[in-house]
Chain A
Amino acid sequence: MYKILVKRDLTPIITLMEVDAPRMAKAAKPGQFLIVRAHDKGERIPLTICDYDAKKGTVTIVTQVVGASSRQICHLNEGDSFTDFVGPLGLPSEFIHLSDEAVSKMRFLFIAGGLGTAPVYPQVKYLHSKGASVDVIIGAKTKDLIIFENEMRAVCDNLFICTDDGTEGRKGLVTEIMKELLEEDKAKGSVPGHKKYDHAVAIGPMIMMKFVTIAAKPFEIPLIVSLNTLMVDGTGMCGACRVTVGGKVKFACVEGPEFDAYSVDFEEAMRRQTMYKSIEIEADHKCNIGLDKK
């Protein structure tokens, strides 16, 4: 059993938990994920790893209530345990293979949507610790869905916040801020001393990542996205996570979750996410994609 040592509500519907998992805490790297089961009849739910502390032996996860399974997780309290907690799964972010010296000279732009802020955090924290310059855009539907603002501010150079309804930060979409930053970056390209963005990472609802990818394309900046596909085992056994990347079928659980954004078939990925949504929702054609939508 995997005990919940700390539980903290970040917003009325988003909960942070620090979980006792020493082996995973020691092995986890930025970009990886885990799978939990809240009880012995529960689903295996993939979640992003939001932080890890090898010394304390803990792994931090963040959950937002979107359905029955996430509600079960959020109903667990400090002192309760997860029945199962397995990981780290997937490949770490590619930049962990770069030398510290190389990373220290680089400038990154992160685009985080809603709960996607959680997996962005360990990546930014890692890069910051290696001396890289990092700017972060956090976007969400509304104020209650903005998380990790202070934590992120402590590990990045510039933090930009926007909400769809303007309840926090700027009113608007992450793509708008991103475009402005990239345009400014392009304009300053030749100014001496200006450090251009080398690399961008977008993590959030599939629909957000799709539009970030479209908006970023003209700027020719390398862009990575992290795909939150359906999964059962998370170790390559089932193939529920199949995505098409560059015309080839990939298993997001073992060959991802991070891929080159410009190669991802987002339409297919979004459709495949709906595979087990109830038939009525399908018939109504209601779009249920995205972590920040009920």
Chain B
Amino acid sequence: MRNKIPRVPVREQDPAIRAKNFEEVSYGYNEAEAVLEASRCLSCKNPLCVPSCPVSIQIPQFIREIELGNFKEASAIIAKDSSLPSVCGRVCPQESQCEGTCILGIKGEAVAIGKLERFIGDWSRENNIRFTDKAPANGKKVAIVGSGPAGLACATDLARLGYNVTIFEVLHEPGGVLQYGIPEFRLPKESVVKTEIDNVRALGVKIETNVVVGRTVTIDSLMDEEGFLAVFVGSGAGLPKFMSIPGENLNGVVSANEFLTRNNLMRAYDPEHDTPIYVGKRVVVVGGGNVAMDAARTALRLGADVTVAYRRTEKELPARVEEVHHAKQEGIIFRMLTNPVAILGDERGWVRGIRCISMELGEPDSSGRRSPVPIPDSDFEIETDVVIMSLGTSPNPLIASTTPGLDTNKWNCIVANDEGQTSRPGIFAGGDAVTGAATVILAMGAGRKAATAIDRYIKDFS
């Protein structure tokens, strides 16, 4: 009989205090809490959680090992399928994946699979546990474009199969969105991101930073001149969208990408770094996704009063419930059914406010969500110093435009099948570069599938 206790709560930093710092919000489980939570798992014979994990982690097995106190064994089980447990335990939308299908969730609360995964990831780091077993080196070279979740997952699997893998990263730090996008208070860079990337390096994966594929080198030059037999493109969706409304180029209007990159990758919050960032006294964030929450909570921590303007209702917010909850706890104001129509400037060309229109929900659109419709003559103004546009991102066209024969669709996404095969033999792609902006774990799943396909392609080829 399993332990019929309620889900073990996770300790968090007090909202009033954390609103003023960049330290992590959630403390995660300690050993006793993890063992207790693990004792709730039913160890289903046909677990529903595993198929709903994009990288198919053997969830009941690793949880069983936690319950027995065998943390190293739990770590080994996860390592077979993921090199980023500390990352995924923190940023995966578990509520709509593994935990969303947990049987316990039907009548009560699902097992806290994400928190347990995080516990194992963190425990492994603190105890210097690392799994570097791999097949003997086969000397065959594979190039990976982008060191985000898709590229890291693909590199991990290929390195374990014995390939000689080089990741090319455009920025000066590896990690992609883990580095530039997700803030420190959700995903610590030095302890978590760097350690898990070092684990990938420990498998023999080389990471060359500051290489712009499409400018410094091309995919064809990597294959023709540098001897790479296959290339995986995991270049993400990094291009910010704007609204094309009046005033968008005023001083004080920034994309969420710029704002977060300054603060995360460039550490603007740390006085020791040279990076400037501007929040003024009041900030309006436009959008309702996880990136909007990250931007809003970052601006708050930098000292601004923050309002999130979203054109639908709270029910439709694309951000994770946990992130919205945290944002509200910290004092962020949400204005629903609010859509900007113009950004207003002062005589010097700086933002002074934003004119919005009230919306109501109409008929469901193609995504199944009810589309917002403006209410005539309902314009109103919100005074603000800064507007952060968080309307989503699309893939950078640079790689496709410099790789002849690599097909893209009308959204600039690279066309690839379920295994990552693109229109060009030897070139594979996955993650946001193919799907448009999605999640860390879906990108990792795509990277793993492509690794299998690349292995098969190279074996057939030689």
* A interface residues, Cβ below 8 angstroms from B: 23-24, 27, 32, 37, 41-44, 68-69, 83-89, 232-233, 235-240, 242, 244, 249, 254, 268, 271-272, 274-276, 282
Contacts and interface: CB of A to CB of B under 8 A. Distances in A.
B211 A237 contact: no
Interface string B170-190: 111000000010000000000
Nearest to B280: A279
Given A88-B216, A239-B257, A69 B249 contact: no
A244 B212 CA distance: 25
A19 B401 CA distance: 29
A41 B271 CA distance: 10
Contact of A83 (B172, B244, B258): B172
Interface of B: 170-172, 180, 209-212, 215-217, 238-240, 242, 244, 248-249, 251-252, 254-255, 257-258, 261-262, 266-267, 270, 272-276, 278, 348-349, 396, 398
Contacts of A236: 238-239, 396, 398
A244 B249 contact: yes
Contacts of A268: 249, 349
A42 B274 contact: yes
Contact of B210 (A84, A249, A274): A84
Main secondary structure of the interface of B (DSSP, over half): loop
Given A44-B172, A232-B262, A276-B278, A239 B255 contact: yes
Contact of A272 (B242, B244, B249, B274): B249
A44 B396 CA distance: 20
Given A43-B275, A235-B396, 15 more contacts: A23-B216, A27-B216, A32-B215, A41-B267, A41-B270, A41-B272, A44-B266, A86-B212, A86-B216, A87-B212, A235-B212, A249-B242, A254-B396, A254-B398, A272-B249
A237 B257 contact: yes
A232 B258 contact: yes
A249 B240 contact: no
Contact of B255 (A43, A84, A238, A272): A238
A265 B304 CA distance: 31
A254 B266 CA distance: 20
Contacts of B215: 27, 32, 87-89
B176 to A, nearest CB: 11
A24 B252 CA distance: 34
A27 B180 CA distance: 26
Contacts of B274: 41-43, 68-69
Given A86-B216, A244-B249, A276-B278, A238 B210 contact: no
B216 A233 contact: no
A27 B225 CA distance: 13
26 contacts: A27-B215, A27-B217, A43-B266, A43-B275, A43-B276, A69-B274, A84-B210, A86-B212, A86-B216, A88-B212, A232-B266, A233-B180, A235-B170, A235-B212, A236-B238, A236-B396, A237-B238, A237-B261, A238-B255, A249-B249, A254-B398, A271-B251, A271-B348, A272-B251, A274-B251, A282-B348
